């Protein structure tokens, strides 16, 4: 499964960005299409191990669970642990790298498979839109805090 990747520079340190990424209850306020994001299980560090999502991003409406693996404030990766009606596979990651001073480059990687057939080109374009929207929302949310 090929991954689509994009990045953005956010004017904040990695720990502040990762705190926003880990705050799933706030996702409906900034993550386009996310109606709810409920932590199902948390790890010893308090960060989510599994999250149940309700997505309404026309034309995709679905519910699914993602499992998370955290690497401090450096990266987080996830994969689909409970399939939805449309989503059959999802693997992604945020990778955070310090840039000048207090800025951080956030790279988002995503690979998605859905139950309806899509041409590879259309699938990559959809992934790119998802990634770019998520990165812009994340930047706006972090820099507003």
Per-residue pLDDT, averaged over 9-24, amounts to: 96
Q: What would the mean pLDDT of 101-115 be, rounded to a whole number?
A: 89
How large is the average pLDDT for residues 3-32?
94
Architecture of domain 4-144 in CATH?
Answer: 2-Layer Sandwich (3.30)
3-state secondary structure string across 82-107: ECCCCEEEEEEEEEEEECCCCCEEEE
The secondary structure of 10-60 as a DSSP string is ESS-HHHHHHHHH-GGGHHHHSTTEEEEEEEEE-TTSSEEEEEEEEEETTE
Check residue 79 and give its pLDDT.
97
Which region holds residue 119: left if phi is over 0, alpha if psi is between -120 and 50, else beta? beta
pLDDT in tens, 125-138: 677 777 888 899 99
At residue 130, the 3 state secondary structure works out as: helix
């Amino acid at each position: 499964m090929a991954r689509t990747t994009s990045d953005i520079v956010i004017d904040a340190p990695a720990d502040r960005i990762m705190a926003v990424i880990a705050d799933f209850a706030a996702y409906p306020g900034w993550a386009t299409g996310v109606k709810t994001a409920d932590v199902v299980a948390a790890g010893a560090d308090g960060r989510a191990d599994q999250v149940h999502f309700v997505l309404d991003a026309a034309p995709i409406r679905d519910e699914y669970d993602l499992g998370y693996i955290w690497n401090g404030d450096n990266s987080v990766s996830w994969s689909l642990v409970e399939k939805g009606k449309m989503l059959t596979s999802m693997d992604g990651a945020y990778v955070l790298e310090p840039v000048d001073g207090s800025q951080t480059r956030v790279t988002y990687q995503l690979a998605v498979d859905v139950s309806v057939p899509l041409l590879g080109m259309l699938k990559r374009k959809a992934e790119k839109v998802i990634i770019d929207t998520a990165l812009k929302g994340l930047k706006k949310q972090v820099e507003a805090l």
